[in-house]
Chain A
Amino acid sequence: MPFPDVKLANRPLHFLYLCDCSGSMAASGKMQALNQAIRQSLPGMAAVARDNPEARVLVRAVRFADHAAWHIETPTPVDQLEWRDLQAGGITAMGEALKLVAAALQTPPMEVRALPPVLVLISDGQPTDDFAAGLEALLRVPWAQKAVRLAIALGHDADLEVLQRFIGSEPATAGRSPRRPLQASNATSLAQYIQWASTAVVGAASMPASRVSETPLEPAAGNIPLPDLPPTVLDPTDDVGPLVW
């Protein structure tokens, strides 16, 4: 006879991409590289979601250029997600994107109970609007304060200072360097970072992984201990990388 038809209680885990779609993204195939990286990461993300029955992983995406707009507005279970290509063109309304996300993280529409949301901001340039006002609006929202905020800088023109303010400054803890924006200088490293954020980080935020004594367990470690970055695996087929930004 079958085991009683009961399911483990679960909580939603909201995962949001904030994607820079400004005109500069059209240069050297950066936009295509980002579309590819996200699309390629989805099966791995779905597998992590499957392995974490305590979490219901829901994905959304915001695009920003002249204005910010939802690219995927409905929180979508990762196994049902279809990634439509983003198009580049316009300036960099990053502040507006943060405001859009701030509104989405209010309760309601956010659930009363959830796992820490994961916000991934990807940009290759400087905000052209009022970034500070956007960030302030975002960080007033409790769910945004609790969120794991990651930033990926594409190429050398990205504004690292702005991205650092988005992820917040975290003091260096024993044995760990402070968190910095991830710098992707080619398509391969971008894909690795997107894969890391959508698998290892989602795993860490949804179901705790094994702890080693070096990851401090004190609350000071932040609300979610981040997993190690992907190792630099030497890729024999792609030593230079097709694109260098």
Chain B
Amino acid sequence: MNWILPEGASLGFEGLAAPLQIIRGLGGGTQGQVYEVDLQGERLALKWYLPACIARDGGLERRLEASIRATAPNEDFLWPIALLRASPASRPLIRLRQESFGYLMPLRPPAYVGACEHAAGRLAIGLRQVLRACFGLADAFHALHLAGLCYKDVSLGNLFLEPGSGGILICDNDNVAVDGADHGAVLGTPGFMAPEVLLGQARPGADSDLFSLAVLLFRLLTRHDPLKGQMELAIRCLDEPARRRLCGEDPVFIFDPLDDRNRPDPIEHAAALITWPIYPRPLQALFEQTFCRGMKQPSRRALTGQWKQELARTLDRRALCPACGQENFQASGAPALCWSCGAPLPEPITLLLARGAVLAAPDNELHPHHFDALAGEDLRRPLARVVAHPQDHRRLGLRNLSSAAWSAETHDGRVQPVQPGESCSLAALARIQSPSGPIAVQRPTRPSPAA
């Protein structure tokens, strides 16, 4: 790589009191190069633009300045912190003839990897973490859209995942603009772009973000593309005109309930056929809403709030197959078979809450939104977590993650306190009283012998 900024050097920038040390180049893309830098002991990332990119995108500087003033919608964005131009003394050290600029942003921690690692199947990650990442994504776009902004270039390349927790980070925030205020050059990334944008009938905005967000969620959940079915197989050379037909002129969702022209091929598109049935009907319905009616009617697409709600509910229904241990998402009431090994899934213990129900499976969590009608879905501050007994994994308990004591009631009416950090066994409990609200423990109704 030919680095524009000299690695190892200290550079001065206008408006920055201390010099920045350029630690090393991290990567280069179509727009510019990204460096790890040190500002008075703090590690940050610096993106430096290529002159061609600045020339093409007249609104870039103004947009960045507006974003810096507005601050990040939430902490999952690697948001611009400051716009930088070299000081006169440092300008000769920048290896470009033309004038250019860059911006500072937080540095992505090493545990976060590009989302394409997941798409390629090279990442050890579980379904719970993937669903949490999807929730994080919906949540981040919810915050962004509520702030009146739109992102415009949602794609796999701009997302990072932490496989252990399902945490996310969103980079490349330099196209963010006020929705409808049309001064940006970017149109999006083909394959993620809404059909109306690909066809040049609309400019990217919050409605097209909703399409791109659904594509990205689908790709994370299924490792497949929502528009690649039989119609893709019919294309010999997948070039621009072919992508335009497939994704713009005649886009058909591979699981469209009414139009079966683009069904997945059992061999070529096995990923979609294996993964789609894992997810509960209401979650599938949001994809159908976005990719069927919403394909041509942008205002009909599933909203970020709907995605948040269904993704959170899907996590609430997580249960482990007793035969193979695989994660399943069980519909309430209905008997079910494990999607992975086919074993029947037993009726699980359910925690009944004022605002929903959570199945008792290790790592499932209770959150404020399970108790409080006014709290939006948020997975950051769990109040309780289902844990397996350290000696006997089949015995499940509930750990108090809140800062206040609970009182747990057994079936025979005894009451016991559960201090913060302690766990209580679910086997004997009927109910827990917590400051957030009651938690009722519902055991499976065993078939009683005929009377």
A interface residues with partner B (beta carbon < 8 Å): 1-9, 11, 44, 50-53, 112-116, 142-143, 146, 192, 200, 207-214, 217-219, 221-225, 227-228, 230-236
Contact = CB atoms under 8 A, between A and B. Distances in A.
A210 B270 contact: no
Residue among B30, B96, B114, B235 having the largest count of chain A Cβ atoms under 10 Å: B30
Interface of B: 1-4, 6, 30-31, 50-52, 56-57, 95-97, 114, 116, 118-121, 123-127, 130, 153, 155, 157, 185-191, 193, 198-200, 223-225, 228, 233, 235-241, 243-244, 268-271, 274-275, 278, 320, 325-327, 340
Given A8-B224, A114-B237, A210-B188, 20 more contacts: A2-B125, A3-B118, A3-B127, A6-B223, A7-B120, A8-B119, A8-B121, A50-B120, A113-B233, A113-B237, A114-B238, A116-B239, A142-B236, A210-B186, A214-B185, A217-B187, A217-B199, A217-B244, A234-B95, A235-B2
A2 B124 contact: yes
A200 B240 CA distance: 16
Nearest to A143: B237
A232 B325 CA distance: 56
B239 A224 contact: yes
Q: What's the dominant secondary structure at chain A's contact region? A: loop
A6 B125 CA distance: 12
Nearest to B153: A210
Contact of B119 (A11, A53, A235): A53
A25 B51 CA distance: 35
Contacts, number: 152
Contacts of B123: 3
Contacts of A233: 2-4, 95-96
Contacts of A8: 119-121, 223-225, 271
A213 B240 contact: no
A228 B50 contact: yes
Residue among A192, A219, A231, A233 having the largest count of chain B Cβ atoms under 10 Å: A231
Contact of A4 (B124, B193, B278): B278
A232 B190 contact: no
B191 A209 contact: no
Nearest to B2: A233
A187 to B, nearest CB: 14
Q: What's the dominant secondary structure at chain B's contact region? A: loop
Contacts of A115: 237-239
A231 B52 contact: yes
A76 B4 CA distance: 33
Contacts of A231: 4, 50-52, 96
A114 B223 contact: no
A7 B325 CA distance: 21
Contacts of B268: 9
B154 to A, nearest CB: 10
A230 to B, nearest CB: 7
Given A4-B274, A223-B237, A212 B186 contact: yes
Contact of A208 (B185, B191, B327): B191
Given A211-B188, A214-B185, A6 B270 contact: yes
A48 to B, nearest CB: 11
Pairs of residues from A and B, 6 with the lowest C-beta to C-beta distance, nearest first: A53-B120, A6-B271, A208-B190, A223-B239, A212-B185, A233-B2
Contacts of B50: 228, 231
Contacts of A9: 224, 228, 268-269, 271
Nearest to B130: A3
Given A8-B223, A113-B233, A3 B271 contact: no
A209 B172 CA distance: 13
Contact of B320 (A1, A208, A211): A1
A2 B30 contact: no
Contact of B116 (A51, A214, A230): A51
B444 to A, nearest CB: 22
B200 A217 contact: yes
Nearest to B237: A146
A115 B127 CA distance: 31
B394 to A, nearest CB: 16
Contact of B114 (A51, A146, A212, A236): A51
A225 B57 CA distance: 18
B224 A227 contact: no
Contacts of B186: 210-213
A202 to B, nearest CB: 13
Contact of A211 (B3, B57, B189): B189
Contacts of A192: 2
B134 to A, nearest CB: 12
Nearest to B4: A233
Contacts of A234: 95-97
Contact of B189 (A6, A143, A208, A214): A208
30 contacts: A1-B126, A1-B327, A3-B126, A4-B278, A6-B224, A6-B271, A6-B274, A7-B120, A7-B121, A7-B271, A8-B224, A8-B271, A9-B224, A51-B114, A52-B116, A113-B235, A116-B238, A142-B236, A207-B191, A208-B243, A210-B30, A210-B189, A212-B185, A212-B186, A219-B240, A223-B240, A225-B240, A231-B96, A233-B2, A234-B95
Given A4-B340, A7-B120, A53-B119, A222 B187 contact: no
A52 B116 CA distance: 7
